[in-house]
Amino acid sequence: MLSFVLILIASVFFTGIIVRTKSMASGRKGPGIMQPVKDVVRLFKKGAVYSRTTSFIFQIAPTIYFSSVVMAMMVVPFGQSRGFISFNGDFVFFAYVLALGKFFSIISALDTGSSFEGMGASREALYSLLAEPAFFILMGSFALLTGYTSFHEMFAALHLGSYISYAIAILATFVLVMIVMIENSRMPIDDPKTHLELTMIHEVMILDNSGFDLGLIMSAGFLKFALYGAIIANLFLGMVPYQYSIPLFFIIQGLLAVVIGLIESFIARFRMSHNPQFIFALTSVSLLIFFGVLLVLGKFV
């Protein structure tokens, strides 16, 4: 339960730190750290408007999308503390409960009948499909290294003691950061500030959402950032006492937000045709981690 609360707290500031970093990198004053949260609160006070061409799927999809992220939060542990839900193979549940929310957001975009939203949904589905092998190879490598298949036991047994293990942790951090960018449709995969429908991915999918529903979708994005940040933090926390692990958790979350802000400030968006190549290349990096684990275990022949 501790991890759930910490992820909630981190999500409040995460997106604001990204926006603030981008403002400082471009020499602008920019909005305050709490501005994204204020925007969501304002949306929660508004009613949703539904097109007559949409069905009940469009109305329930934002709630399911938000609920899927909350369910995924319950699986993530924090150091010595298990997640609210913990069992063998829970990382599979984590991946596919997020996939359930993504599925409903995709069919919700298709439900509007808009060709633009259909294009965005198609790209979202493709990029999620290509990113999935990288995540499972990464988690499978950790399961092989530690001998456990649940998040809590894997991270508790993960000890960084050799140069190879540090290299594995750095590569795993890179893969997870890139998965964060893909899952939230950020640079260099997508530009959240673009207004050209032909090149938009996530933003074009939610053009017809408004009011409370749009607030749920944006809130889920904030939580998803902090969710993956918590997984990255668990790579390095191990069994560190709470008086050190809690501050370290927020430091790692803050550093991740700053890194994402810098990436979005200094890296241009890829061409749409290059995105699948880049995302699928993450699987190759995950395979390097897998071979590194075999090397650590002395099974590399």
The chain-wide mean pLDDT, for the chain, equals 85
- Phi, psi dihedrals of residue 270, rounded to the nearest 5°: -70, 160
What one-character DSSP code corresponds to residue 78?
B
Q: Above pLDDT 70, what percent of the chain?
A: 95
Tally of CA atoms within 13 A in the half-sphere of 8 that contains its CB: 8
Lowest mean pLDDT among 33-47, 70-84, 114-128, 187-201: 187-201
Q: Report pLDDT for 273.
A: 77
pLDDT score of 234: 87
At 67, the pLDDT band (50, 70, 90 cuts) reads: very high
205 located within any domain: yes
Mean pLDDT throughout 97-116?
A: 88
Half-sphere exposure of 199 (CA within 13 A, CB side): 18
Residue 138: predicted pLDDT:
92
Interval 139-144 mean pLDDT? 90
pLDDT > 90: what percent of the chain?
A: 21
pLDDT at 73: 92
Q: How confident is residue 161, by pLDDT bands cut at 50, 70 and 90?
A: low
For the chain, the residue count is: 301
Mean pLDDT across 17-30:
85
Mean local confidence (pLDDT), 155-172: 76
- Residue 118: predicted pLDDT: 81
216 vs 157, more confident: 216
Domain count for the chain, please give it. Answer: 1
The residues that bridge with 81 in the sheet, in sequence order, are 78
Please report, for residues 147, 150, 156, the alpha-carbon distance to residue 89 in angstroms, rounded to integers and kept in the order given. 12, 5, 15
Residue 78, phi then psi, degrees to nearest 5: -145, 100
Q: Flag whether pLDDT at 239 surpasses 80.
A: no
Boundaries of domain holding 129: 2-296
Distance CA 40, CA 121 (A): 23
Tokens 């369910």 map to which residue?
Answer: 71
Place of tokens 């290059």: 274
Q: Which residues contact 80 (CB under 8 A, 6 or more apart)?
A: 156, 239, 242, 245
Whether residue 87 is contained in a domain is answered as yes
Report if residue 301 sits inside a domain: no
Q: What would the two tokens of residue 271 be?
A: 């061409």
Q: How far is CA 36 from CA 22, 25, 30, 275, in A?
A: 14, 18, 12, 27
- pLDDT bucket at 135, cuts 50 / 70 / 90: very high
pTM of the model: 0.89
